Amino acid sequence: MKRTGVQLAKNYGMLLVGAAVYALAFDAFFVPNGIAFGGVTGLAQILNFFVPKIPVGTVVILFNIPLFLLGWRLLGGHMLVSSLFAMTASSLFIDLFPLVHEFSPMEDTLLACIFGGVVLGVGLGITFLQGATTGGTEIVARLLKLKLSWLPMGKLLLLADLTVVALVALVFRNMGAALYGIVALYISTVVMDWVLYGMDNAKVAYIISDKPEEISRVILEELDRSVTYLQGEGGYSRQPKKVILCAFKQRQIVAIKETVRQVDPNAFMIVTSSHEVLGEGFGSYHGEF
């Protein structure tokens, strides 16, 4: 779908915000407190340690060139342009912020780890919501998402970043930095998934009952949730069965279970988690994550 000028301006404005928040997490929390950082930025941090005259942001751009070429072939042109913009902006912010303000280490490294992870997750979430990445392992996670579409982006990103964190710890010979980095990464992936998918994760129920119409009527009228009938067959009885499929908010799980129990105590119900449900009453189609 073609985007209007206003939509593009809003999109790239949010990318600037996401890039600034990402860079702030790195400069204000990770670097001054000696916390290992994942991804290409972590690799750039290692190179900067050996050659301090080379700015981290510049190294990030150089390391990202081959990854963006690969991402362009597999992910398409729009993501390439928006991701190049986000990566360049975040790299410039990483080099700019220390020139504007000198960040001091916090007295409590654990607090720096926690808040650094939160701020990093918000920045990445904002960037991913615009259909872009900041490059590096985010591109790797996007590529993995093509094959592992059922996994949330945060978990895929965590897998890609852990290797770099371990390498940072090896180079700096500081296991504490790696452990704090792992904690910060985990927090950032949780926060990023909250930004992308919302804090109120949806649930999906499959209900097999001899009274499907009665259960469906109560769910529709009293709980204001839609249902869909799936056609099933009993494995032992070989009798046809109507399977009720119902998506609902996590906070409604008690009401759903109580409804089924009251109508048919012998009903068989399976409740599963769904990291994203799109459509009326749930999220909007803001992109594939």
Do the beta carbons of residue 141 and residue 121 sit within 8 Å? no
Q: What is residue 2's predicted lDDT score, i.e. its pLDDT? A: 52
**Above 70 in pLDDT, residue 17?**
yes
Residues 148 and 222 in one domain: no
Q: How far is Cα 238 from Cα 119, in angstroms, rounded to an integer? A: 55
Domain holding 260: CATH number?
3.30.70.120
Residues 230 and 187 in one domain: no
Range in 151-160, 184-193, 261-270, 274-283 with the lowest mean pLDDT? 274-283
Residues 192 and 233 in one domain: no
**Above 50 in pLDDT, residue 79?**
yes
**Above 80 in pLDDT, residue 238?**
yes
Q: How far is Cα 47 from Cα 212, in angstroms, rounded to an integer? A: 63
Residues 176 and 259 in one domain: no
- Is residue 241 helix, strand or coil? strand
The parent domain of residue 261 ranges over 202-274
Range in 55-64, 88-97, 257-266 with the lowest mean pLDDT? 55-64
Residues 64 and 127 in one domain: yes
CB count in 10 Å sphere of residue 287: 12
Mean pLDDT of 79-91: 83
Mean pLDDT of 153-172: 76
